[in-house]
Amino acid sequence: MKLFIKYMVSLRCKMMVKEELHKLGIHQMSVDLGMVELLEDISLEKREMLKTNLMKSGLELLDDKKSILIEKIKNLIIEMVHYSDELPKLTYSDYIAEKLGYEYAYLSNIFSEVKGITIQQYIIIHKIERVKELLIYDELNLTEISYKLHYSSVAHLSNQFKKITGLTPTFFKQLKNKRMRNLENL
């Protein structure tokens, strides 16, 4: 039996879900971002208890097929951008369609209808968040970040970054350095 969970986007969320399942005596085969595969079916009573316990932690057990599909798309993108060392060799649309087993046009229409933005916009937002993260860690320069996230050029990354954040990547990095210096002076 598979359960789908909304807002489950980090390793911490996975650990919390595992703990809730353990408390209720529910045995799982696997816990991935947005999905839990159970060894056996669970009663409606245990499902409701799990739903209530997850809600307390800001997570939501999903029931309808459309919401489940949206969460699968979101989790696939989050995993692809934030947790994978390499982005897929296929185009994003082909990768998502192949992984989920649906035509991309169908996925795109449902996603846009429910979320109010396109899948491509969602990917860009997450890529920019990843760029911010990498800039803050200060382990890679902008050229390396551009290459790692499959931007066609540093200029393309910089333009997208400015469009989303209102700042250039260089200015964003300077703000971080300035803030750290200010904290050191306290």
* Tens digit of each residue's pLDDT (9 = 90 or more) over 69-90: 998 999 899 888 888 776 667 7
Evaluate whether 17 touches 73 at the Cβ level (below 8 Å). Answer: no
- State residue 127's pLDDT score: 93
At which of 40, 63, 86 does a domain end? 63
At which of 63, 85, 103 does a domain end? 63
Which distant-in-sequence residues (6+ apart) come within 8 Å of 154 by Cβ? 142, 143, 146
* pLDDT for 25 beyond 60: yes
- State residue 179's pLDDT score: 61
Q: Per the confidence metrics, is the pTM higher than 0.95? A: no
DSSP-assigned beta bridge partners for residue 6: 60
- State residue 183's pLDDT score: 44
- State residue 181's pLDDT score: 52
128 within a domain of the structure (yes/no): yes
Evaluate whether 71 touches 63 at the Cβ level (below 8 Å). Answer: no
Number of domains in the chain: 2
80 within a domain of the structure (yes/no): no
DSSP state of 83: I
Evaluate whether 46 touches 20 at the Cβ level (below 8 Å). Answer: no
- State residue 186's pLDDT score: 45
* Tens digit of each residue's pLDDT (9 = 90 or more) over 85-125: 766 677 889 999 999 999 999 999 999 998 899 999 999 99
At which of 28, 43, 63 does a domain end? 63
Burial 19-41 (b: 16+ CB within 10 A, else e): ebbeeeebeeeebebbbbebeee
- Note down the domain range covering 34: 1-63
- State residue 180's pLDDT score: 52
* Tens digit of each residue's pLDDT (9 = 90 or more) over 128-180: 999 999 998 888 899 999 988 888 899 999 999 999 999 999 898 888 766 65
- State residue 87's pLDDT score: 61
